[in-house]
Every structure is written in structure tokens, then in C-alpha cells.
Amino acid sequence: MAEVKKVVLAYSGGLDTSVILKWLQDTYQCEVVTFTADVGQGEELEPAREKAKNFGIKEIYIDDLREEFVRDFVFPMFRANTVYEGEYLLGTSIARPLIAKRLIEIAEETGAVAISHGATGKGNDQVRFELGAYALNPNIKIIAPWREWDLLSREKLLTYAEQHGIPVDMKHKQGGSPYSMDANLLHISYEGRHLENPAAEAEEDMWRWTVSPEKAPDQAEYLDIEYVNGDPVALNGKKLSPAEMLAELNRLGGKHGIGRLDLVENRYVGMKSRGCYETPGGTIMLKAHRAIESITLDREVAHLKDDLMPRYASLIYNGYWWAPERKALQVLIDHTQGNVNGWVRVKLYKGNVIVVGRDSKTDSLFDPTIATFEDDAGAYNQADAGGFIKLNALRLRIAAKAGRK
């Protein structure tokens, strides 16, 4: 293990990564560089710097990646209306390629030959981090402690921490948080403990971002969202940066009980896993984006996007953001968004996002002179539909005459 002289650790400052930091120093006898990413998790990150200093770490990175996260990862994903297995908006998945990218960049800046992460050997994140890292630097060495050490229980982690003078919060000593959580500007997730029984309803006090729909305001709230090239750029007439937009939609959606999800999903490593998610802003964005596309996209282009979306979603969920097939799909998706310009009005009410209006002054394909139920003054010849139907029915009529059922 002496060949690893320096490693970059994705470091949160929590119990797991603090143990990993010390374990790396002891096991690999190497210098550790810590990297803490601010992707909008809403936690104070400076304590991570102090904890790293206490371990003797000289190179400490704490990077504000919120704008890059939303602009270059969340927004491109939402241009595709991406949903995994019909429900999941991929909040955890989409943050991993950015963190992997920054790990590789820091390794190059500091001369580190390896990176390390705290993902377990049972989950998806190990795959996402490592596929991304190898795509960006095929020669990087990856150290995944959960696949190497024998500290495979919470009790062993606590014992190791106490033996090595690693501060342990009282919450860990007294039983710890009942859930394994991950948060960023797009969502917060909950797994483990009580949720490992898929028949049990999630406890109400688990949810952190959203009120329950029952306790949401009795008065609906309207939002006007302006779109340019498929991305939301203004809210109620106010221009917002990508991170500001998502943060404000989170606040408004959470206020109205929007974006809760209880899901049993299929992990890439093969097992089923139950997780709960809060994605208030993303839920609003998905609904609004589909609404603006409904009047600006050609029918077959829209249907092609819907056909490709599950494949695109799986690529992100499984960790292939940096793969050539995902990049190729992104080129097609982004090409479709050139005319997705206009505004959408949504109503937020007790857990629901209701589209109530949409318009595009420059790119709408909705022609009221043709769609009207009133006299269209000859804009559409209804007699043409007869031949259209007969031609499309031809194969069905031939089969019927041949006696096929």
C-alpha cells in the first residue's frame, strides 16, 4: 500500500468520513487531501474544515458548487423530463458525477494518485463515483474503505472512533439519526431503520423540507415560470440564477406540501431498496417543463423524447453521466429545446402542482384557428380526415378480411 502517497477524500466531516480519514492515514500511511462539496445540502460546512485541521490535513477544499450543479447537471437532466422507474427525480444520482469530476480535478491539482469515498459496497453511489472517476481519469486509483475494512457495523465504527480520539456526536452515542440521509439543492433522501420495512408508513416527523398536504395552506398560490431554451430563467417576472430558481421553488413547494415520494426502487447492484424523497422544486419544474413543451415541441419530437427518457434516466441512475451514449442523447435533447421558450402558470395547492396556463409568443405550435370547435373559416377541411382514416385502417381491414383476430 506504500505506492499511494496522497489521496483525495470526499469528506463531509461526519462520523463515517472522519473514520475513513484516520483509517486512510493509518492503513495507507499517506497524505490525505479533503474535499467537501457544497451542492446545497443546507448544512454548515466550515466545521468540516476544523475537523480536517485536527487530523493534520494541510490541503482542505470546501467548494461552492451550487450554481454549477443546477446549471450543468440538474437543468440538462430536466430538459429530458427525466424520471427513473416512473417516479424518482434522481436527486442523489445527478450530484455524483459533479463530485467525481471535482475529485479528479483536485487530484490533478495536488498531485494525488488516488481518490476515496464513503459509499458502501451495497449501494449505487460507489458505482456512480467510480464510473465517473474512471471516465475522467482512467489511471486514477480508487480506495473504497467499505469494500476493504472490517468496520462493517455502527458499533465497530464507534469503537474505532473512540480508540483513535475521533469526536463522536451525542446523537451517534445515543442511537444516532434514524435515517441515512443525502441532501442537495434538488432533494433530500431518507433510507434505513424504520424504512427498511416497506409495509410501514414513514413517520411524519421524518420529513424536513415539506409540510404535510393536510397542513398546507388552504389558499392556493400561483407561479409564473418563464422558460428560455428549455430552462427556467424567471419566476413571477424576476430573473433568477439556476441555483436561486431551484432554491425558491423548493421553498414554495415545501410550503404547499409538494414533492414527497415513498418508493421501492431497483438498485443497479441488484437489490430492491425503499427510500423516501422530498423534491419540491423539481416536482414543480417537471410539471412546468412538460407544459411549455406541450405547445412548442413537434408531436413526433415530443414522443421521441418520451421514448428515450427511460434509457436516459437509467444512464444517470446507474452512473453513466460521462459515458458517450449519455452525451449523445444530451446533444439530441438539447437540440429539441431551441424552441422551448415561453411561460407557464402553475397553481400550488395541498401537495398538487396544477398547470393552469401556458403560452409562447415566438414558438407556439398551437393554432387556435385550426383547433377551434367554432367555425374555422376553412382553416381545416374535415373531409380530409376520411381518407386519412381509411389509409391508416388499410392493414386492419386486410387482416380482418383474412379472418385474423
- Tell me the pLDDT tens digit for each residue of 4-55: 999 999 999 988 999 999 999 999 999 999 999 999 999 889 999 999 999 9
Q: Is there a single domain that holds both residue 119 and residue 141?
A: yes
Q: Is it the case that residue 327 has pLDDT exceeding 80?
A: yes
Strand runs labelled E in 185-328: 188-191, 221-228, 231-235, 238-239, 260-266, 272-278
> Does residue 132 lie in a domain region?
yes
- For residue 131, name the pLDDT band (cuts at 50, 70, 90): very high
For residues 133 and 99, give the distance between their C-alpha atoms in angstroms, rounded to a whole number: 9
Residue 124 structural domain: 6-66+93-176
Identify the domain boundary among 150, 176, 202: 176
pLDDT at 370: 94
Q: Is there a single domain that holds both residue 35 and residue 104?
A: yes
> Does residue 148 lie in a domain region?
yes
- For residue 179, name the pLDDT band (cuts at 50, 70, 90): confident
pLDDT at 176: 56
Q: Is there a single domain that holds both residue 238 and residue 151?
A: no
Region 247-264: mean pLDDT is 98
- For residue 168, name the pLDDT band (cuts at 50, 70, 90): confident
- For residue 167, name the pLDDT band (cuts at 50, 70, 90): confident
Identify the domain boundary among 176, 197, 220: 176
For residues 105 and 345, give the distance between their C-alpha atoms in angstroms, rounded to a whole number: 41
Q: Is there a single domain that holds both residue 164 and residue 189?
A: no
Q: Is there a single domain that holds both residue 387 and residue 255?
A: no
For 10-77, the DSSP string reads: E--SSHHHHHHHHHHHHHH--EEEEEEEESS--S--HHHHHHHHHTT---EEEEE-HHHHIIIIIHHH
* pTM of structure: 0.95
Q: Is it the case that residue 170 has pLDDT exceeding 60?
A: no
Q: What is the amino acid identity at position 306?
A: D
261-272 pLDDT per residue, tens: 999 999 999 999
> Does residue 314 lie in a domain region?
no
Least confident of 174-188, 268-282, 334-348: 174-188
- For residue 149, name the pLDDT band (cuts at 50, 70, 90): very high
Q: Is there a single domain that holds both residue 193 and residue 120?
A: no
Asked whether 181 and 190 are in contact (CB, 8 A), the reply is: yes
For residues 127 and 288, give the distance between their C-alpha atoms in angstroms, rounded to a whole number: 32
> Does residue 316 lie in a domain region?
no
pLDDT at 193: 86
Q: What residues form DSSP beta bridges with 141?
A: 114
User: The domain spanning residue 34 has which CATH number?
Assistant: 3.40.50.620
Region 214-224: mean pLDDT is 98
Region 339-358: mean pLDDT is 98
Angle at CA of residue 71, ends 227 and 289, nearest 5°: 30
- For residue 404, name the pLDDT band (cuts at 50, 70, 90): confident
Q: Is there a single domain that holds both residue 141 and residue 200?
A: no
pLDDT at 173: 53
Nearest one of 361, 349, 356 to 291, comparing CA atoms? 356
- For residue 249, name the pLDDT band (cuts at 50, 70, 90): very high
> Does residue 72 lie in a domain region?
no
> Does residue 387 lie in a domain region?
yes
Asked whether 164 and 157 are in contact (CB, 8 A), the reply is: no
pLDDT at 152: 85
> Does residue 78 lie in a domain region?
no
Q: How far is CA 391 from the centre of its chain?
A: 45
> Does residue 81 lie in a domain region?
no
Q: Is there a single domain that holds both residue 166 and residue 30?
A: yes
Q: Is there a single domain that holds both residue 274 and residue 394?
A: no
For residues 224 and 241, give the distance between their C-alpha atoms in angstroms, rounded to a whole number: 16
Q: Is it the case that residue 79 has pLDDT exceeding 70?
A: yes
Q: Is there a single domain that holds both residue 123 and residue 198?
A: no
Nearest one of 4, 21, 318 to 149, comparing CA atoms? 21
Average pLDDT, the chain: 95
Q: How many domains does the chain have?
A: 3
User: The domain spanning residue 283 has which CATH number?
Assistant: 3.90.1260.10
Q: How far is CA 404 from the centre of its chain?
A: 48
Q: Is there a single domain that holds both residue 391 and residue 350?
A: no
Q: Is there a single domain that holds both residue 375 and residue 394?
A: yes
Asked whether 41 and 146 are in contact (CB, 8 A), the reply is: no
> Which active-site residues does the annotation give?
16, 96, 125, 180
Identify the domain boundary among 145, 176, 207: 176
pLDDT at 104: 98
